[in-house]
Each structure stands twice: as structure tokens, then as C-alpha cells.
A and B are shown apart, each in its own frame.
Chain A
Amino acid sequence: MADGLREFLERVFVRGQNPFVNNYAINRLRPPGAVDERRFMGLCIRCNRCLEVCPYGSIKRAGVGPPMGTPYVFPEQKACYLCMACCRLCPTGALDAHLRNPEKAVMGKAKIDPSICYSHLFLDRDKVPQGAKQKIGALCNTCYNVCPLQDKAITLKGNLFPVVLDGCVGCGICTERCPTRPRRAINVIPSGMGRVDEAGFYFGKARRHHDSAVSRAEKPSSGALKGEELLDRKYKIDGSRDASDFQFPYETSDQIEGWD
């Protein structure tokens, strides 16, 4: 909490960032042709014309919060089918009116989580997903099959499992169709989210977690030991120097009958 507050104040007052215009989250995408988030939040006048014309009903309005009323695509519900109808109609240039080619859209990039992707699980013999009794998996590859930019945006490595390529525009159709639940194995990370200075508080949170994990790992441990560290320490215990030579408390004989 205090860390978050300090982060917030530092971002606003030291680095001069605007806390209201970074509204990134995974699977929260601006329509294709959207300019970068900071300009978008200024230029979009919430007229919802894009939402009105989308023939697939892909665009939703953002709810309470700074982006209230601005358009979003939630690919888990409905992906963007890249018809490019919305860009042409935006009155302010928040969506690039000249963008016609769907392959030039930059909504985001899909990312596969191999720990739940059925294809990856199927190929990885030893992996039993959390909560499952036995190994599951299938050569699903739905994402590859539904992608409108097949082989440019996503390909099947060795004809076996999907890999996202640079051509991915982030339409989210793969996310919409991915069969894994509750989480999808393929999700779209909106463009801009990866840039440290643009990504705002979402990135801030991720970085804080990362930093604290690193510092925890580096910190010399104090007090009780646990897990592998404890085992390690135990293995290393060597009392040989402190102990005097061992003596049997009774007479020994080298010749015991029957032993040899």
C-alpha cells in the first residue's frame, strides 16, 4: 500500500507522468488503428461511433474510471474481426482514418502460456497441470486454425504446437476461441503495455512484484531456514574437526571367530 502510494507520487511528480491515461490490462484492447494510449485518451471524445458501426459488436464501452465511455475490445467475449469499419469513421483521429490494411493494425500481441496450452501440455510428457489428476492435452491448435493472418501471425512449430510470430496484430480471435478455462492459454497484451514509460501503473505493479521477489532472493537469510536451504545447510554440517577421535568404550579384538 505505502509502496504503491510512493510509486504513484514518484511517477506523477518526479517523472512527470500522467496517471490518468495509462489504462492497460491484458485482453483490454483499443480498436485497430488506435493511436498510442496517451494521445488516444486526449483525442477520443467518447462519441462511440466506432462502437455503433462495428458489425460484430466487438467494441464495448469502458465503465467507471478515467477511460469511461472509451471503446475497448474484450477478446474473451468478442474479438475484433479486422473489418476496419471503425477506423474510417472516427471523427477526431483517435483511430487512424487512413488505416485500411488489417495487417498494419497494432492492437497488441498474443502470448501463449505453455503451462496451460493443450498443445504444449500434450507434447510435454512430464507435465501434469495444477489441480489435474493426470496428464491432459491434445493437439488442439485452435488458435492457429482461427487466425486470420495464419502463418504471418502464428505458425505451428514442427506442425505440432503454436508459436506467435511478429505479424500478430492482436485482434484476439485466438483468445476468443481458445478452449482452456478459466484462463485462456493465449492472451493478447495490448501494444504500449510493454513500454516502461508508457505502461503506467499496470507495469508499475509488475515491476514492484519483480523487484521485491529479487530482493527477497538476494537478502541473506536470517532466522529459521526452510525447504531446500535447510537441507543444504544440513548437508553441509561437518563435525569432523570438533570431535575427538572415536573410541569404543570396550575392548576390541581384531580376531573374532567366524568373521572374515
Chain B
Amino acid sequence: MYRRYRRASQIAVFALMFAVPVLNLYEIYAITGTFYAINIGGLGIADPVVILQAMFAAGELTVPLLSAAIFPVLLALLLGRVWCGWMCPYHLLSDVACAARLAAATRILKKAEPASPAVKRSFSANMWRFGFLLVGTAAAGAIGIPVLNYLSAPGITSTEAMIFVKERTFSLEIGFIAVLLCLEFTLIPRFWCRFFCPTGAFLSLFRSSFTLRIVSETKNPAVPCCKESPCLSACPMGLQPYREGGNLLCTNCARCIDACPHQRLKFDGFLTARPR
């Protein structure tokens, strides 16, 4: 039931990516920018990772820099990694690639489930992500360039959309997105969002007790509560939703809630933390 809303949100953001440069062609500057940094009616919003890197690379901390990062961090504190699950344009492309992978596996290879050599343990996935973020930020500070921007999937996707609208071409960086999607289609589905993406990693750091998260009503979290456990294959992040709903990897996409045949999963957090 959440699926429809999530798709609507993802598609709206994806369309926004093209709409902003189109509006700007008609000299309407209410919204400007890409998903590295966007300005909506005077409210500056920037990907906090690029702000973090700019701080290290230029060695300065200024008000415009900090204020641009506040909104995404607040959003993450309230709603968790909703940017990833509900908005990120790359995530939508990755959804498409993984759906194509599933379809190819069932139709062509005649296998029910494509075997994924992905690391199933969320701990190692998180370590990869945070390690990558740390190394990238350190590198940005060392060489004075925000290097992780060259590898920002949502930023590159929206920049390419803007370049396409403005100049009817793509730039070289689209190759990076293509390579990522090919790898997700063939080898490890969702590997970018699970193991590398610095934006996703940084956003998941802001998780507190009142952040929106998935809770499970299962009695014994050590084993799946039902035999089929469809939530396991539903989770794009490779989590076990019946016990790891609050994991840093979780994008609050609610696929598991939709998948559970017994309605044992639901959202919790600041919504229900108030005294009833």
C-alpha cells in the first residue's frame, strides 16, 4: 500500500530533475540547481556530503555552507533515509535495473530467484559504506578537491538530465551511472546503495530513537516469523526486516511492510513516540 506513494514520490522527483532546467530555460528561477545543491524558493538545500567535503577541501566553515546542509539532516533525523527510498533518482534507475534482472532471471534463465552473491550481513555492508565515506572525505581534504562528487550517483544523474535539457548532449560522467547500472543488473543488485554511496551513508548517520523506523511484532527475532518470509527478498538493502528494521541501512522504503502477509511490520518513531 505504501508502494504506490513511494513510486509517485520517486517519479515526481525524477520529473523535477528535468523540469527545473526546462523552467530555467523560460527564465523561471523559483527552483534552480541539481541534486548536488538545489534552491527551492530561496531555501538552499545541498547534499550534506558535498558540503562536508567542501568544508574539508577548502578548509573553511561558512554560514551558507552549513545552512545548506541543515534541511537534509533534519529530514534524515525525522524520517531516516527517506531520500534514498523515496526520492533519489538513481534509486529509481536501480529499481528498474533490478526489476529487469528479476524478469530476465525468471523468463530467460527460468530460475525463480536470481542468486545474488551479495554480502547478506548488514554489518559488513555498513562498514564498506562508512569506510568509503571516510576515505573519500579524507582524500578531499588532502588534495583540496571534493572528490566524492565525481562518484555521487544522484548528483551525476540530475546533472546529466540538466545538461541534456540545456544542450541535448550527455557528458562523460553518464558512463559511471551506466557502469553502476550494468553491474547491478548482472552481478550484485543494489551494490552501490548498499556498499558505497557516500550520500546514503552520511544520511544514515542521523538516526535517533525518534527517527522513523520499521518495527516488528514478532515474538522471537532470532528466526523469521513465517516460513515464506517474503520480507527477506523484498528488502532491497538485504536486511532481515523482522529484526533489523532500525538498521542504518534501512531506507524506510516500506517494501517489507507491503510484503508481510501477517501485517507484523509497521512504521514507528516520532509518529508513535508521543504519549497516547
Whether the pair A39, B64 counts as a contact (CB closer than 8 A) is no
Inside 8 A of A47's CB, which chain B residues have their CB? 33-34, 36-38, 46, 50, 155, 159
Task: Confirm or deny: A77 has a beta carbon within 8 angstroms of a beta carbon on chain B.
Answer: no
Q: Majority SS of interface residues in chain A? A: loop
Task: Confirm or deny: B113 has a beta carbon within 8 angstroms of a beta carbon on chain A.
Answer: no
Whether the pair A18, B143 counts as a contact (CB closer than 8 A) is yes
Task: Confirm or deny: B54 has a beta carbon within 8 angstroms of a beta carbon on chain A.
Answer: yes
Task: Confirm or deny: A92 has a beta carbon within 8 angstroms of a beta carbon on chain B.
Answer: yes
B-contacting residues, A23-49, CB 8 Å: 38-39, 41-49
What size tier do the contact residues of chain B reach? Answer: 35 or more
The chain B residue with its CB closest to the CB of A70 is B145
Minimum CB–CB distance from B177 to chain A (whole Å) comes to: 14
Instruction: Tell me the count of chain A residues lying within 8 A, CB to CB, of chain B.
Output: 30
Taken residue by residue from 146 to 174, chain B's Cβ proximity to chain A (1 for < 8 Å, 0 otherwise) reads as 10011000010001001100110001110
Whether the pair B46, A91 counts as a contact (CB closer than 8 A) is yes
The chain B residue with its CB closest to the CB of A68 is B150
Inside 8 A of B20's CB, which chain A residues have their CB? 52
Whether the pair B57, A41 counts as a contact (CB closer than 8 A) is yes
Interface residues of B (CB under 8 A from A): 20-21, 24, 27, 29, 32-34, 36-39, 44, 46-47, 50-51, 53-54, 57-60, 62, 64-65, 68, 143-146, 149-150, 155, 159, 162-163, 166-167, 171-173
* A-B complex: 9 closest residue pairs judged by Cβ atoms: A42-B58, A42-B57, A47-B36, A47-B37, A45-B50, A91-B37, A49-B33, A43-B58, A46-B149
Interface residues of A (CB under 8 A from B): 18, 20-21, 38-39, 41-49, 51-53, 55, 57, 61, 63-64, 66, 68-69, 89, 91-93, 97
